[in-house]
Amino acid sequence: MELLKNPLIMAGVTIAVVLGGILGACSYLIWLERKLSAWMQDRLGPNRVGPMGLLQPIADGGKFLLKEDVIPDHVNKFLYLMAPCLSLITTMLAFAVVPFGPVSHAPGDFPFVIAPGIDLGIVFVFAVGSLAVYAIILGGWASNNKYSALGSLRASAQVVSYEIPLGMSVVGIALLNHTMSVEKILMYQAEQGFAGWNVWYQPVAALIFFTAALAESNRLPFDLTECEQELVGGFHTEYSAMKFAMFFLGEYTHVITISFLTSVLFFGGWHFPVIAEVGSPWFLKVGVLLLKVLLIIVLIQMLRWTIPRFRFDQLMGLAWKVLIPMATLNVVIVMCVLEFELPRFWLLPLSAGLFATVGLISTQGSLPQRSLTAAPTAAHGHGH
Amino acid sequence: MPINESDVTWVSEPKMNFWESTFLPAIFQGLKVTASHIDGHTVTQQYPEEPVKLPMHYRGVHRLNRDDQGRVKCVACMMCATACPANCISIIATEAPKNDPVWEGRDKYPASFELDELRCIYCGMCEEACPCDAIELTHIYDLTGKTREEMIFNKDKLLSVFDQTKDSGVDPVRTHRGKLSGTADFQSLPPLAPATSVNPDDRSAKASSPGVISR
């Protein structure tokens, strides 16, 4: 126990817990996703390995490890092997500042975050998390395959575009809570109770953050980088066995991270009225937080099997024409509220107003439309 | 040939209203649909464990029917062999011996009737062509064999398929001796419904013959 007071050893223990937890969670979330999609489509899903197919993730993992490790002749070996490692490392690294329980700084206590006390938390997550696109670009480039290259080009365009609304949507939160530290934002919400949850003051930001984060993690409906109909497998066409599994784990870890961030930044983290208040025991807080995260992950999975994939111009239009202006206006609104010292509850009607304005502009607006086809000629003069 | 102007309907994209343009109601509607399917109901048939549910018109292994005296019903008319697109039926016909009580009332019967189950495409043309419903396709679908020769069914084997399936419930004997089959009984042809149902709002429903794509 005395040994655990050493912060280095404690950090090692935390890393071990997080690594084991995330890898286990990833494999069973994949099982959950397969089951959910099966039920939605009136199928059964994996049901052969173990009861309810519960041993399926273990069988899959074993298969990935034992499969022949193919490295095609035409690839750039160094970059080809580096890409999946980068994918896993960056997404795992981003999790370092995400609190997964009541954060404690006292020596000897389990800290519930790998790196406690990082004041630049949000910036760190975005900076490191968006490095994951390097893995995709490198994988696509090193594969020396046109489909992979196209997939990674799409990924870079997409991530660069969605990085902006993602960052902007959190600026409002940082301004309101006077901090960039994830754990301090959590505590600030928890101390103010249910009414202190950031989602009441920043509903539009929450929506933008969730959408942009979903796009960042390259999941449906934003998985243009690996759409099978057009790009075979996208950037991971040439990857097999454990290298493919590492890409997949990276993607899933990203999903877990954004779910944690959504619940911590907007939905009060481990706080829930009556069940988990500031003075509650740690297991209740962890339970509440994990339940919230699970709900968000299930929502993401349900969205994946509900919404069809965007077209690429729609994807870019959503980011540049809708999310970025909306996020900018949201930041302006927060600034105005803080500058003129209006009560915080003004943010809710103002956000609703912003949302309504954007909706109205898109229906009533007469923005110049780019004409894709020539107007019908006089010979067929029917007009539209 | 250019398309007639009057046949062209110009369609423009409908304008979206406020809620549609936010996409949120559509997303929630979609989530409601997908979530409503998570109720444990499934259309999967667990095949090796559960017996497979086949439609009544399933076309599996053939059988040669027997008449009420246990003789082969086939009159060796060669209609099936002629209709067969895969050329998998070969029949050698022979004359039924006169004054033999066994073949009373019969002129011809197949001395040999061979059907290559590997060559067959299970189209059911033989069944359609047969004037006396002697050859029928059964619901047996899991036919296997170790050699190609084994899969060429002779008369005895085809008759044994009849003995095996006639009481199984799904392959009833459809006709009785002395009568020609099905179509001979029709006084008039039954009216045929359109092959697919058509939405009454659809343009094709307002055509001169609804539900039918002309030319």
pLDDT at position B186: 54
Across residues A303-318, what is the average pLDDT?
A: 84
Of the pLDDT bands very low, low, confident and very high (cuts 50, 70, 90), residue A368 is low
Q: Tens digits of per-residue pLDDT, A54-80?
A: 888 889 888 888 988 888 888 888 888
Query: Does any CB of chain B come closer than 8 Å to the CB of residue A306?
Result: yes
Greater pLDDT, A315 or A378: A315
A40 closest CB neighbour out of B10, B16, B38: B38
Question: Is there a contact between A306 and B30 if contact means CB atoms under 8 Å apart?
Answer: yes
Q: Tens digits of per-residue pLDDT, B106-124?
A: 888 899 999 999 999 998 8
Distance CA(A293)–CA(A101), nearest Å, equals 12
Interface test with B, best of A296, A307, A311, A351 (most B CBs within 10 A): A307
Please report residues of A whose CB lies closer than 8 A to that of B17. 363
User: CA separation (Å) from A190 to A116, A120, A197, A267, A279?
Assistant: 18, 20, 8, 10, 10
Q: Is the model's pLDDT at A138 over the cut of 60?
A: yes
Interface test with B, best of A204, A306, A310, A384 (most B CBs within 10 A): A306
pLDDT at position B191: 53
pLDDT at position B89: 92
Residue of A nearest to B35 (CA): A40
Please report residues of B whose CB lies closer than 8 A to that of A358. 22
Q: Is the model's pLDDT at A350 over the cut of 50?
A: yes
Q: Is the model's pLDDT at A378 over the cut of 50?
A: no
pLDDT at position B119: 92
Q: Is the model's pLDDT at B130 over the cut of 80?
A: yes
CB A335, CB A346: distance < 8 Å: no
Distance CA(A61)–CA(B110), nearest Å, equals 61
In chain A, domain spans: 1-66, 70-102+114-361
Please report residues of B whose CB lies closer than 8 A to that of A309. none
Distance CA(A336)–CA(B126), nearest Å, equals 84
pLDDT at position B178: 44
**Nearest CA-CA distance, residue B45 and chain A, Å:** 9
Question: Is there a contact between B5 and A360 if contact means CB atoms under 8 Å apart?
Answer: no
Across residues A308-318, what is the average pLDDT?
A: 83
B18 closest CB neighbour out of A302, A305, A360: A360
Question: Is there a contact between B34 and A355 if contact means CB atoms under 8 Å apart?
Answer: no
- Type of residue numbered B133: D
Question: Is there a contact between B16 and A39 if contact means CB atoms under 8 Å apart?
Answer: no
Query: Does any CB of chain A come closer than 8 Å to the CB of residue B183?
Result: no
For residue A301, give the nearest of A231, A223, A225 by alpha carbon.
Answer: A223
Question: Is there a contact between A359 and B22 if contact means CB atoms under 8 Å apart?
Answer: yes
pLDDT at position A375: 47
Q: What percentage of chain B reaches a pLDDT higher than 70?
A: 81
Across residues A289-294, what is the average pLDDT?
A: 90
Query: Does any CB of chain A come closer than 8 Å to the CB of residue B50?
Result: no
Query: Does any CB of chain B come closer than 8 Å to the CB of residue A42?
Result: yes
Mean pLDDT across chain A: 82
Query: Does any CB of chain B come closer than 8 Å to the CB of residue A357?
Result: no
**Helix locations, A227-323, DSSP H:** 228-231, 241-265, 282-306, 312-317
User: CA separation (Å) from A200 to A179, A206, A207?
Assistant: 18, 9, 12
Across residues A2-12, what is the average pLDDT?
A: 78
B37 closest CB neighbour out of A39, A303, A362: A39
Question: Is there a contact between A384 and B42 if contact means CB atoms under 8 Å apart?
Answer: no
Query: Does any CB of chain A come closer than 8 Å to the CB of residue B8?
Result: yes
Q: Tens digits of per-residue pLDDT, A85-128?
A: 888 888 888 888 888 878 777 777 777 877 777 788 888 888 88
Query: Does any CB of chain B come closer than 8 Å to the CB of residue A68?
Result: no
Query: Does any CB of chain B come closer than 8 Å to the CB of residue A384?
Result: yes
Residue of B nearest to A45 (CA): B44
Distance CA(A360)–CA(B179), nearest Å, equals 76
The interaxial angle of helices A324-339 and A347-364, nearest 10 deg, is 150
pLDDT at position B84: 92
Radius of gyration of chain A (CA): 23
pLDDT at position A238: 83
pLDDT at position A384: 41
Of the pLDDT bands very low, low, confident and very high (cuts 50, 70, 90), residue B69 is confident
How deeply is A285 buried, as exposed, middle or buried, from its count of CB atoms within 10 A (0-12, 13-18, 19+)?
A: buried
Q: Is the model's pLDDT at A383 over the cut of 50?
A: no
Q: Is the model's pLDDT at B22 over the cut of 50?
A: yes
Phi and psi (nearest 5°) for A269?
60, -125
Q: Is B152 left (phi over 0), alpha (psi -120 to 50) or beta?
A: beta
In chain B, domain spans: 62-171
Question: Is there a contact between A359 and B33 if contact means CB atoms under 8 Å apart?
Answer: no
Of the pLDDT bands very low, low, confident and very high (cuts 50, 70, 90), residue A376 is very low
Please report residues of A whose CB lies closer than 8 A to that of B21. 359, 362-363
Please report residues of B whose CB lies closer than 8 A to that of A52. none
Copy the structure tokens of residue B5: 């102007």
pLDDT at position B106: 82
CATH of B62-171, one of 1.10.150.120, 3.30.1490.20, 1.10.3720.10, 3.30.70.3270: 3.30.70.3270
Residue of B nearest to A35 (CA): B38
Residue of A nearest to B5 (CA): A380
Please report residues of B whose CB lies closer than 8 A to that of A36. 38
The answer to whether the peptide bond before residue A57 is cis (omega within 30 degrees of 0) is no
B34 closest CB neighbour out of A44, A305, A382: A305
β-strands B62-64, B135-137: how paired?
antiparallel
**Nearest CA-CA distance, residue A51 and chain B, Å:** 15
Q: What percentage of chain B reaches a pLDDT higher than 90?
A: 15
Q: Is A185 left (phi over 0), alpha (psi -120 to 50) or beta?
A: alpha
DSSP conformation class of B146: S
Q: Find all residues with CB under 8 Å of A12, minimum gap 6, and list them.
A: none
Interface test with A, best of B7, B17, B37 (most A CBs within 10 A): B37
Please report residues of B whose CB lies closer than 8 A to that of A362. 16, 21-22
Q: Is the model's pLDDT at B85 over the cut of 90?
A: yes
Radius of gyration of chain B (CA): 27
CB A250, CB A258: distance < 8 Å: no
